[in-house]
Structure formats: structure tokens, C-alpha cells
Amino acid sequence: MALELVKIRFDDSRYSWTVVDDDGTPIDCIRDWIVHLEQINQSPNTVQAYARHVARLGSYLLACRKDLSDISVTDYDRFLQWLPYHLEGNAPSGTNLAYLTSSVAPISPLSPTLRNQIHLSVKSFYRYLTGRTPTFANVTESNRYQGTHSYKPFLEHINQRRNTRQKDPYLRGDLGLIQKRVTLKRMSPEIVLDLILACHLIRDAFLLTLLYNTGMRIGEALGLRHTDIDLAEKIIWVIPRADNENGARAKSGRARAIPVMPYLLEMYEDYLTSEEYVAAFESGTEYVFCNVQRGRVGRALSKSYAENLKTYLIKRTGCVFTWHNFRHTHASEAIADGHGLLAVADRLGHASPQTTLDFYKHLFSSEIRKLHLTGPDNLEKRLREFRDSGVHLSEREIKWI
């Protein structure tokens, strides 16, 4: 028996997820947990990923003749060992993991990122179950990780697992290869211009220009409304909303303001006053990026359209990119222009400056090295002046220099 993640569509264009068994019967505890994640404003992508991981865990436990309420640390370890083979489509069923080395070809382990995401989803699910049923919530005694209806010991063990982090790739390996990898993520203005010129609609050209100038996520841009653009203050607001008809939303739970260049706002005005936008204007739409020709005119652009546009631009220009490359390029150029860590983190909408530092510390280090290239020369000059002056320095003064 296998559990499957399925999508639920509502009449008002909203959607959700649930997990069903082979008979199509929903798994109530997983569905209740998914509703809980949505109510605490987890992003749709996070909900989908978490639910998929728990569905895979449930499928493995069922193959081992167990259910989600009967899990031990050993079960979880074996699941993590089995999962890479399952993802490659050649996993053994049930508990045949003992024979992996002799019957199944070796396979690469789970990536640190995927492993951490699985840890987070499993912890979230069993934390929810612990508080969902009073019987489980009162379980506090256990010195062994038995697992049966006692999730707290299991959670305590999972919590002890540190997130697996690889060594910073920018501090090891071939420096030339590293610099090439960073360069590939950062698009030049010439490439961005080629992509913009390849657009047939002003709307699409404005979308690319907006992403390049603000570092917004593609979901934040697709959810942008006319009321979010302040022409007088030259600011674009990113507002978290759960009612966008295309399902787009800001990943961060807080609003933020992004100052923009005047030419971006001029392009926005050209877009609004173009013949291309007339039908959308008459529809009374509140979305900046909406259908202007086909489909229901005025409806917010879907994520699938954004992906189709990306594919079209890649074929037309030969420039391979992702929407997130615009965000990386914007952050890189902001750092190169001298913006500090806090300013860049706020502009990108990161929940913590540490997130910004984790992603872009190699760029900050590069700029710092540029600023301090003259440091050794200045120090040598200073020491020479003191030596030529004939002044005898105390040990304290030498340390100060």
C-alpha cells in the first residue's frame, strides 16, 4: 500500500493538499495537520513539500506493516536509508534494506538540504500529533525510544540531530571554478537587456525589469497590486496576502518597502497607458501582472504562465536562467554598490540577516577584501615612519599599531 499526495481545488480558485491511500481514502491525521500548517500561514510550497515527505514516510511504514502512529527511531533511520532508492525508482519493498549492499547498486545519499527538509517536516507532523490528542500530550515518561504512541521521546531524538551542513563551497576547491560558478548565477546587464528585448508584451518586459531592479521573488511579483506601487515616494510595497487569485504570495510574513529607480516607475506608467492594457483596465483588475489578451482578461497571471514565459525566452535568446537568478543578481549588485548586510537583508525580505549572510557571505568577503587591499601597505608605511623617527616604542604601543 502506498500513500499519495493529491491536490484539492476549491471553487474560488484556492487549493490545498491531502494524502490518500490506495482506495482514495484521505488520511485524517495528515489532512488535519495540513490544515494546521495553512492556518499558521506556512507558504503553499512548504505545505506541499512537508506533506509529500510525510506521505513517503507513511508509505514506507505501511510497507513495514506499521502505521504513522507506530514509529521508532530505528524505523526513521531505515526510512532515510531507503528513500534515495525510492526516489531513483529502484527501492526494495518492506524491510529488505538489510540486503541493499548485495542486491541493489550503490546510490548517492540524500542531499543535506533534502535531509534537513525531511527532518523539519517529520518534526512538525509529530509535534502536531503530540498536541492534537490529550492522551499523547500527557506522555512524558520514557527512557528508551520505543515509539508506540509516545512521540515526545522520538521528537527529542530527532531534535538532537543537527542540520547537516556542507563545508562552505567558497572556502574549498578550485578558486577558478568557484568564481565561474558565482559568475554564472549573476546575470550581466547585457543578458538582462537581451531577455527584455525578447519580450513581445510590455507587461512581460516590465516583469523582468521589476525583478532585476527589486530582487523580488517571482511569487511576490505575480501577487503585486496597483495599490502596492507608490509613485510619489518611489516605493514598491511587498504585502503578504493569502487571497491572491493565482495563489501567489510573499514568502515573508511581514510587509516591506523597496525603493526603486525612477525609470522603473516610468515603465510602469507606459505599461498602464499602452493599448495592450486597455482591456485589462476596463475589467477593473487590481493586479499589475494580469491577462491582457487571452483567457479571462484581468485575471492575475499564473505561475505556469511565468514558467512558460521563461522557457520561451530561453529558446528565443539562448540565455539559460531561472527567475531566482534575477534575485541573486540584484543582491550581488547591491553588495557590490556598498549596501550593508542589514540593508540587503531588508530589501530581499529575509527573515534574518543571517540568511542573507549564509547565501552571500562570499560576496561580502570579496568586497571587504577590495576595501582592505591597501591595509598592509598603509601599515608598512606607518611602521617605517615610526622607525625613521627614532622613537622607541613600548610593548603596548607596538600592539596598538
- Residue-wise pLDDT for 158-190, tens only, equals 666 655 444 444 444 444 454 455 556 778 888
pLDDT of residue 169: 46
How is residue 366 written as a grid cell?
Answer: 570579496
Residue type, 374: T
How is residue 136 written as a grid cell?
Answer: 499523547
Distance CA 354, CA 361 (A): 10
For 220: left if phi > 0, alpha if psi spans -120 to 50, otherwise beta; the answer is alpha
The shares of helix, strand and coil residues in the chain, as percent rounded to the nearest 5, are 55, 5, 35
pLDDT of residue 19: 93
Half-sphere exposure of 14 (CA within 13 A, CB side): 9
Distance CA 52, CA 58 (A): 10
Q: Note if the pTM is more than 0.95.
A: no
Cβ within 8 Å of residue 38, ≥6 positions away: 16, 47
- Rounded to 10 degrees, the C-alpha dihedral 172/175/176/178 comes to 50
Q: Which residues of the chain have pLDDT under 70?
A: 1, 12-13, 90-106, 132-184, 362-401
Query: How many CB atoms within 10 Å of residue 322?
Result: 13
Cβ proximity of 84 and 107 under 8 Å: yes
pLDDT of residue 14: 73
pLDDT of residue 170: 43
Residue type, 367: E
Distance CA 252, CA 240 (A): 7
CATH topology for the 179-362 domain: hpI Integrase; Chain A (1.10.443)
Domain boundaries, the chain: 4-159, 179-362
